[in-house]
Chains A and B, each alone.
Chain A
Amino acid sequence: MANSSSTDVKVLGAWPSPFVIRVRIALNIKSVKYEFLEETLGSKSQLLLQSNPVYKKIPVLIHGGKSISESLIIVQYIDEVWNSGPSILHSDPYDRAIERFWAAYVDDKLFPSMKLINTAQGEEKAAIVEQAIEGLVLLEEAFQKSSKGKAFFGGDRIGFLDIAFGSMLGWLRAIEKMGGVKLLDEAKTPGLVQWAECFCADGAVKGIIPDTEKLVEFAKILVKMKGAPLGKN
């Protein structure tokens, strides 16, 4: 699987989606060239409906005509197919279990609570922010354990959990800005503050995470369209 023409690999996605960002980072790590097919906001292409009939959502990876959906499943697929490139998941089963656990936590708990910050107000908002920060503190602890003093959850290089969580950084910053809140800070999550900088500067990530301003503008468009700042993608 070392050689694939760029038409062999397609990613159906959209620039603001953190889930799509995961797939693009993974392909970059493996130096895989791909065609990025951008979906239009508010409509779903025929190709999307055909290749992901169950969820009709992005991202979808199309490789050699076969479609794979669900971002974390796609990232694992990429790791397994392009296995001559740098590894994305750890090699030890227990370390893999830990990174899968926290990646699922980001999707099941952290990101949903972050999204709620936008629509909440007053006391409810304060409670949700506190909940999100508690979650980030848990990830800070996980970071300290996993990184073992290195820059990333994956060690010297970006790994599965770096991708799963790092892909959210654009929206995390946008939510901080829109909500007038601080989620990552030096006091409670110093490791993650440093990690975020390293992650965004990494060669495989550079240019993929949208500017905070762009996402804030996009969120405004979403509010107009759906009445909620962050719909499900």
Chain B
Amino acid sequence: MAEVKLFRTWSSPFALRIVWALEVKGIEYEMIYEDLSNKSSMLLQYNPVYKKVPVLLHKGKPISESLVILEYIEETWKSKTPSLLPEDPYQRAMARFWAKFGDDKILPLIWEAFIKQGKDQEEALVAVQENLKYLEVELRGKKFLGGDAVRFADLAFGCLANLVSVFEEVTGVTLIDREKFPLLLTWMQNFMDAPKIRDTWPPRDKLITKFRALRETLIVKEPK
């Protein structure tokens, strides 16, 4: 009976954050795949508030919300290097800030651009680019957001590495301009290929199919 279990779906980018954290720190765990259209009684029991993945189960105790889980992993397996967060309180605050920025601004704006069309989509894309500028600046002189290696903020943004190209293929629209965001694009490639990360990506063709279907059902028509 594994001490650490992770409830995930095959595609959830939030659950992938936890896979990455566990892999990077070399923590043994068991993966339990959920079908969100048919949630297991375990998932409902362990995350009654949101009924979502990821949920980490450690010695029978559940933790939900991906950034909360990342902090828990960092604090529980203190001796397992590498540390995902720096020692210095200000640097820690900055790592947490960028991670939250991803969840509060970048990812929701990308989602808006994904489900909209025409002028609405254009506006959403402008907002995405405006906010991505901060990441581009943050990456100056660094290979990763965490410095030389993948750390907390990288895990938070990591899903961009595979999902941006899926977005662009499904919508037919450029999300990240190659000329305006050279550092961000390099970071995405570095993250994609990073050790412990590179073998975790969900199959791209399956993602394309899924997001294509999702877009079809969710697409917000422009008001006439």
B-binding residues in A (CB < 8 A): 54, 63, 66, 68-70, 73-74, 76-77, 80-81, 93-94, 96-97, 100-101, 104-105, 138
Contacts and interface: CB of A to CB of B under 8 A. Distances in A.
Given A68-B90, A96-B75, A54 B101 contact: yes
B5 to A, nearest CB: 15
Given A54-B134, A100-B71, A101-B68, A94 B93 contact: no
Given A77-B90, A81-B89, A101-B64, A93 B72 contact: yes
Given A97-B72, A138-B49, A104 B65 contact: yes
B93 A74 contact: yes
B69 interface: yes
Interface string B71-103: 110011000000000000110111011001100
A94 B90 contact: no
Contacts of B89: 77, 80-81
Contact of A93 (B75, B94, B105, B134): B75
Contacts of A54: 101, 105, 134
27 contacts: A54-B105, A54-B134, A63-B90, A68-B93, A68-B97, A69-B97, A70-B96, A70-B100, A73-B93, A73-B100, A76-B93, A76-B96, A77-B90, A77-B92, A81-B89, A93-B72, A93-B75, A93-B76, A94-B58, A96-B75, A97-B63, A97-B68, A97-B69, A97-B72, A101-B65, A101-B68, A138-B49
Contact of B90 (A66, A93, A97): A66
Q: List 9 A-B pairs, minimum CB-CB distance, nearest first.
A: A93-B75, A80-B89, A97-B72, A77-B93, A100-B68, A97-B63, A93-B76, A68-B93, A73-B96
Given A73-B93, A97-B72, A101-B63, 16 more contacts: A54-B134, A69-B97, A70-B97, A70-B100, A73-B100, A76-B92, A77-B89, A94-B72, A96-B72, A97-B63, A97-B68, A97-B71, A100-B71, A101-B65, A104-B68, A138-B49
B61 interface: yes
Contacts of B105: 54
A77 B93 CA distance: 6
Nearest to A96: B75
Interface in B157-173: none
Question: Residue among B64, B90, B94 with the most chain A CB within 10 A?
Answer: B90
B104 to A, nearest CB: 9
